[in-house]
Structure 1
Amino acid sequence: MSKLNENFIEILLDNILDSVFFLNSNGKIIYMNKIAQNLTEWLLKSAQNKYFSDVFKLKKSKSDFETYDCFTEILQTKKPQICKKPSILITQSGKEIEVKCNFFPIFGENNEFLGCLIIAQDFTDKRKYENALQNAMRLNSLGQLSSGIAHDFNNVLTTILGNISLAKLNLDEKGEIFNLLNEAEEGIDKARVMTQQLLTFASENKTDKEILEISELLKNFVSFTLSGSNVKCNFRFSKDLMNVEGNRSQLGQFIHNIIVHAVHSMPVGGNIKISAKNIKIPKENNFELEQGNYVILTIQDNGIGMSESDLSHVFDPFYMSNMTGKDMGLAIVKDIIDQHNGTILIDSIVGEGTTFTIYLPAIFQDSSSFKDIKGEIPRKHGKVLVMDDEDIIRRVLSKMLTQLGYEAHVVNEGVSAIKTYKEFLANNDRFDVVILDLTIRGGMGGKETIENLLKIDPKVKVLASSGYTTDDIMTNYESYGFSGALVKPYRVNELDKALIDILNN
């Protein structure tokens, strides 16, 4: 029975996730479970009858050079000690591990001191997860801040771009002022791309997919990521390169992560080569891909490369690479590519560089956006109700609509929009289109406003407008009752096309 009890206790202790030590009254090891043996790199038969401090060498911090005898402190107080701060364990091989230890004295029937039970917890993984959680919280806060800044910046750009596009309508295309305004528009277009990138990184919406021109996505995110670095990039794309269907935020993240990895592998600078071409994957293939058309992306750097050992673990979260250190970025890349039904391959030679090859399913659908139209715009007729909380945007939108031939009415929030729409409808004077800003500070926004308008008039035609380009409403506007969506900032020509599309449909 006693032997059975001993075996039961040993099995129980060996299946506990923490390290367990039993010491006698002199501080020598009687027993340690398998977790403790793995942690210290000491076998039980080698550690038995050794002083605990000779096996479990502790430093109070990484910066300390000397170890301390924790059992002596127990012997003096004979009281349990719960350590709030982790210590540094030096294993038999000299490796340093962050651990938390709790000490419990053991007493006999006559209250004599028999020894000590010590429970030690490997704090390394917990610390990693805590750091990852803190990083996620910081990124979330940064994302919210970036999103707000980008939205406000898009509102400012709407005013500037709207007025410039209006001014150009009244100028000679060959004149110097027209050319200067063209250059100003180009600058605004670059700013528009930057705010889109900020919103994409900040976006929490990772499921919605759209038709994307992969060459433009690569150029935008690579240039954004390399800004301020000493790394250059060369692009080579097939002229007939097909589009891909994917989530802009996720695909932007995977591009960003690979480029960041490349930059880190070239600390003194270097070059990145990026190419993309179409490829047809047959039914039988070595990539476990579905048969069909794909876009194959190649991203090559001339950095320090990765060893075979690193390559075998490159997609493992928290893996500490010998070449580039800890990097979760590539694990995220693998997850994103998998979610898009693609695959990623890596070739690397130490001292020469690394090549990432990515396969993404391709489609033929056109993703081209409406381009600016030069010259006079035919005048239209009709009434348009505009809701926006920015006075300066209401003014420029009113001017743009008037220029296009519409009768503009403006309000600053949802309650006023509903009231105005009701009043006109009561007089059999219907608005042809309503333009609703989705985000109204201190008032009813576009989402709630359209819900009310549809109850009043199920045939109402509403255009969603927002500087939050990643908002789910902007990509799935029909699901919310909108007839179209217009991303801020926009030119008068782009507003014109959006209105025509709604009125024609």
Structure 2
Amino acid sequence: MSYFEEKNIRNIVNKFHEGLIFVDREGKVQFINHIGEKITGWTENLAKGKAIVDVFRIFNEKTNIQYVNLTNDILNTDIPYEITNPIILRSRNHQEKDLICRFSLLQDKNSTITGYLIYFTDITEKKKFEREFQNALRLNSLGKLSSGIAHDFNNVLTTILGNISLAKLDVSEEEEIFSLLTEAELGIEKARIMTQQLLSFSNDGVSAKETIDIAHILQEFVSFTLSGSNVTCEYLIADDLWNIEVDKTQINQVIHNVVINAVQAMPIGGTINIEAHNVQIPSENSFNVPEGNFIRIVIQDHGIGIDPVDLPHLFDPFYQSNLTGKGMGLTVVHDIIVQHGGFISIDSELDVGTTVIFYLPAVESKVAAPLKEHATSSPHSGKVLIMDDEDVIRRVLGKMLKQLGYLPTAVANGDDAIQIYQENMAKGTPFSAVILDLTIRGGMGGEETVKRLLQIDPKLKAIASSGYSTDKIMTNFSDFGFSGTLIKPYKVKELEDTLADLFDAFST
């Protein structure tokens, strides 16, 4: 009769908070307590008499090799046996669980070894929390890193795009060089989207939302993303589609990322099907969102599909597979949709295709009227002060302003900007406007500079310039003393329109 056939002993060990298995010298299971049953999926009746390696199936987490010589390893040692590597248990119901476990020899009153005990604890939830915590730390670090990369990248793009847009002004639209420059501009537009993806991992700002006609945006941006590919698109969009209030740049990222994934899933070409409809979600729903009106957008490809094993990990930026790739595209998509009060789901079947469905809250407000067009040659003139710590940006922005009829003066930091602004006011030759970069390395940036300049000249006309489109100043510029914004990178036309809007606003 074993220890565990005694009622009092059984009652005691069944109250343990960890699993316990008694194994005899032949490696056969003789007893398993209640927690052990729960963790392994084996009842005592089913497990009793079976080989321990069939019931307690543990594997090295790194090598995926099963520990198949447990009994020999334990019985042939004079010290407590220990497995130091991370252990994975594969239960009877095919679940994988993280364990820590200890092994102890059992002896009778004559010091004869009768078997051994295995004590084990399920730490799956603990390890899951630790992994999520580490991912959160990594995402935070990634956000800071990507934000800096995006800033530097946007400065480079500003230089390239500015010079290309200047070159196009001197070329006839009929010339081949004009088409080549236009293609280069399209490439930069796609690069600008990439920088916005990087900025999505930085929480340093608030989205600038506007009411948009999603039907128009959807078709416009899908066409842009598909340009140059061997993939076409078929639309089924409701005529009475509601509007949505979103950050237009971020929603463009969502469309771009999903469509790019669809294109990559169809290497020999094909057709993407896109639908958009109004839906009303009731108070009791399975989506865990408040009741209300939503826009339902479906983007379906007919490509290679995604393995079911990969589907649960699609929004994890650190998960990699042959089909999901190594990018953060779907993570960005998920985060943007959730930030806008929506939700997303993905369904896929290998060799059939993938369907991405996302919902965005609808609004009753009307789409804002488009900004009025300005003449190609600027009707305005005057002196404009530029502050930017990048020499190449100061040069290209100066050329753009000269092309538009303005007289530019460029400085590298806030102290110089304040000094030159004061000097010109004292001479009676004030600046008509200032363009201030918000981020100046090692010096006073645009936020502090504009405060100081407003103390000198309360009628200051200032434009905030930055590659951080979600920066709090760029989304609420008037609260910080600015009269307009320029998001890097920008073309001559965008600079012209921004200055024209600025002067028109002050002339009314």
Cα pair 1:389 1:413 within 8 Å, conserved? yes
Residue 389 of structure 1 deviates from its aligned partner by 1.5
1:72 corresponding residue in structure 2: 72
**Aligned equivalents of 2:127 and 2:227: distance in 1?**
32
**Aligned equivalents of 2:435 and 2:453: distance in 1?**
12
State yes or no: 1:208 paired with 2:211.
no
**Aligned equivalents of 1:393 and 1:256: distance in 2?**
28
Q: How does 1:300-379 map to 2 (within 5 A)?
A: 300-302=300-302, 337=337, 339-342=339-342, 355-360=355-360, 361-362=362-363, 363-366=365-368, 368=370, 373-374=375-376, 376-379=377-380
**Aligned equivalents of 2:96 and 2:313: distance in 1?**
23
2:481 corresponding residue in structure 1: 481
2:3 corresponding residue in structure 1: none
Q: How does 1:8-87 map to 2 (within 5 A)?
A: 10-11=14-15, 13=16, 16=17, 19-23=19-23, 29=29, 31-48=31-48, 50=50, 52-60=52-60, 67-87=67-87
**Aligned equivalents of 1:210 and 1:108: distance in 2?**
73
**Aligned equivalents of 2:431 and 2:89: distance in 1?**
74
Cα pair 1:103 1:116 within 8 Å, conserved? no
**Aligned equivalents of 1:372 and 1:193: distance in 2?**
26
> How big is each residue's C-alpha offset from its partner over 1:138-163, in whole Å with a ceiling of 9 and x where there is no partner?
77666666655554443344334434
**Aligned equivalents of 1:126 and 1:266: distance in 2?**
40
Q: How does 1:239-258 map to 2 (within 5 A)?
A: 243-247=243-247, 251=251, 254-255=254-255
1:411 corresponding residue in structure 2: 411
Q: 1:231 to 1:3 in 2, by over 3 A?
A: farther
Cα pair 1:467 1:488 within 8 Å, conserved? yes
Residue 368 of structure 1 deviates from its aligned partner by 4.6
Other structure's SS at 1:102 match: strand
Other structure's SS at 2:72 match: helix
Residue 466 of structure 1 deviates from its aligned partner by 1.7
1:442 corresponding residue in structure 2: 442
Counterpart of 2:177 in structure 1: which amino acid?
Answer: L
Residue 76 of structure 1 deviates from its aligned partner by 3.1
1:464 corresponding residue in structure 2: 464
Residue 117 of structure 1 deviates from its aligned partner by 4.4
**Aligned equivalents of 2:439 and 2:97: distance in 1?**
48
Cα pair 1:232 1:272 within 8 Å, conserved? yes
Q: 1:378 to 1:455 in 2, by over 3 A?
A: closer
Q: How does 1:226-245 map to 2 (within 5 A)?
A: 233-235=233-235, 243-245=243-245
**Aligned equivalents of 2:306 and 2:64: distance in 1?**
33
Q: 1:264 to 1:240 in 2, by over 3 A?
A: same
**Aligned equivalents of 2:399 and 2:330: distance in 1?**
49
**Aligned equivalents of 1:66 and 1:284: distance in 2?**
49
Other structure's SS at 2:436 match: strand
Counterpart of 2:191 in structure 1: which amino acid?
Answer: M
**Aligned equivalents of 1:110 and 1:426: distance in 2?**
104
Other structure's SS at 1:77 match: coil
Q: Percent identity?
A: 42
Counterpart of 1:448 in structure 2: which amino acid?
Answer: E
Other structure's SS at 1:297 match: strand
Structure 1 unmatched ranges of 5 or more: none
Cα pair 2:150 2:198 within 8 Å, conserved? no
Residue 42 of structure 1 deviates from its aligned partner by 1.4
Other structure's SS at 1:184 match: helix
> How big is each residue's C-alpha offset from its partner over 1:338-360, in whole Å with a ceiling of 9 and x where there is no partner?
65345668888998656555443
**Aligned equivalents of 2:24 and 2:475: distance in 1?**
69
Structure 2 unmatched ranges of 5 or more: 1-5
Residue 455 of structure 1 deviates from its aligned partner by 5.0
**Aligned equivalents of 1:261 and 1:164: distance in 2?**
29
Counterpart of 2:209 in structure 1: which amino acid?
Answer: E
Q: 1:175 to 1:105 in 2, by over 3 A?
A: closer
Counterpart of 1:377 in structure 2: which amino acid?
Answer: S
Counterpart of 1:491 in structure 2: which amino acid?
Answer: K
> How big is each residue's C-alpha offset from its partner over 1:245-274, in whole Å with a ceiling of 9 and x where there is no partner?
124576456546755776798798653211
**Aligned equivalents of 1:228 and 1:82: distance in 2?**
60
**Aligned equivalents of 1:378 and 1:482: distance in 2?**
22
Q: 1:325 to 1:73 in 2, by over 3 A?
A: farther
Q: 1:20 to 1:430 in 2, by over 3 A?
A: farther
**Aligned equivalents of 1:491 and 1:473: distance in 2?**
21
State yes or no: 1:184 paired with 2:185.
no
Counterpart of 1:187 in structure 2: which amino acid?
Answer: A
> How big is each residue's C-alpha offset from its partner over 1:114-150, in whole Å with a ceiling of 9 and x where there is no partner?
8654343557666766776777777766666665555
Counterpart of 2:381 in structure 1: which amino acid?
Answer: K
Residue 24 of structure 1 deviates from its aligned partner by 6.2
**TM-score, normalised with respect to structure 1:** 0.72
Counterpart of 2:192 in structure 1: which amino acid?
Answer: T
**Aligned equivalents of 1:275 and 1:407: distance in 2?**
50
Counterpart of 1:462 in structure 2: which amino acid?
Answer: A
**Aligned equivalents of 1:115 and 1:105: distance in 2?**
9
**Aligned equivalents of 1:282 and 1:74: distance in 2?**
60
**Aligned equivalents of 1:35 and 1:227: distance in 2?**
59
**Aligned equivalents of 2:468 and 2:416: distance in 1?**
23
Q: 1:434 to 1:239 in 2, by over 3 A?
A: farther
**Aligned equivalents of 1:359 and 1:184: distance in 2?**
37
Cα pair 1:315 1:331 within 8 Å, conserved? no
1:421 corresponding residue in structure 2: 421
Cα pair 1:82 1:101 within 8 Å, conserved? no
Q: How does 1:148-159 map to 2 (within 5 A)?
A: 148-159=148-159
The number of aligned residues is 485
Counterpart of 1:392 in structure 2: which amino acid?
Answer: V
Q: 1:109 to 1:411 in 2, by over 3 A?
A: farther
State yes or no: 1:194 paired with 2:191.
yes
Counterpart of 2:32 in structure 1: which amino acid?
Answer: M
Other structure's SS at 2:502 match: helix
**Aligned equivalents of 2:114 and 2:303: distance in 1?**
60
Counterpart of 2:368 in structure 1: which amino acid?
Answer: D
**TM-score, normalised with respect to structure 2:** 0.72
**Aligned equivalents of 1:162 and 1:435: distance in 2?**
15
**Aligned equivalents of 2:143 and 2:244: distance in 1?**
26
2:391 corresponding residue in structure 1: 391
Q: 1:189 to 1:462 in 2, by over 3 A?
A: farther
**Aligned equivalents of 2:476 and 2:291: distance in 1?**
27
**Aligned equivalents of 1:89 and 1:213: distance in 2?**
53
Residue 430 of structure 1 deviates from its aligned partner by 4.4
Residue 218 of structure 1 deviates from its aligned partner by 4.4
